[in-house]
Structure 1
């Protein structure tokens, strides 16, 4: 049977599917979905730099959680400044503390930039073999639309968080922890254990910045071997 012999309603369903054919029918025929309201607690207070802890609605790191980690819902996060900038993400220093108590910890918050301000130079190799269930999202990522780049950032952050969690678990099991504790994942933001001076908020130097003595070189070599062993076991 030729296409023009079919009823008009059936003809419309043949051929190439539309980009939004994965959407539920009631979303297409009904009124447009209202945008999600902004969470007033998600943005820091402009005067104090504080916001409520995002621990409650985030994906958490491996259990048992370290004793130093503040998990109380009454805690507040305070922005202390930027630690490092990169092509795809920036790392910020955050203090999470419970007001009126001595419970506090420093965290490194790695935040992937919005689609207009980042370039995923390696995303082709990263996305190879990785697909999501909905074809609309796969097409968006393949076409590098704004929505697709946001999806890529979310997958990138989730994969990084999962890898750190796995390395932490393997290291803890064998008594050799070689990565910062992955505290939580929320959207495209990873919060990690801060490695550095807890009082001054100074990050530990990178290996390339060190000029170690002979004794320190042996210790650093041992740490490198331990890290490779954990990586092999993972």
Structure 2
């Protein structure tokens, strides 16, 4: 039997920031394992067995948030859509701790948390299993030589397209104009169509939007948010 080979991947970005508060450490210790969606990392699942979404969410539609930051949007959507299961992926442990605190306060029971790289999640999600995906204020990697690190590249968009159902919605929010350019150039190349007919379709936030702390920072610093909506073809 051939042994599966560990994927060779570089990770760019922060995994940890300031020391966690005692309450945040307790969230990690007490809540994270119960909310983690099974064996996602290579160490726990070297065979890359498919994730059981039926067992995880009881047959509910499944949404995916890539890099949930502090978790404001994820919890907002979970509370507003109790008939949906939402998986959030975030390698920054401080953000994970913030999310866990918000989940406790909201008493949301339809969230799964992967404290790691979304590419690990792509490896184990069934094909055409996700109904909606969010990429909200991703790391802009502003230097030209770093643009290949952005999410809107083939390395991420091919597996994203694989796990999204036909007709699934992919939302991207960013305040970086060059990120908008790259998104509009790259995303349609991998099986998506941009759903925009007029400027208001990308200038105005979605009806169910909640402004995150990253967006508030962008507004304070004079940057303009863009809200891009794509559909999996």
Smaller-chain TM-score range?
A: under 0.3
Q: Which structure's relative contact order is higher, taking Cα pairs within 8 Å and 6+ residues apart?
A: 2
Structure ID, larger Rg:
1
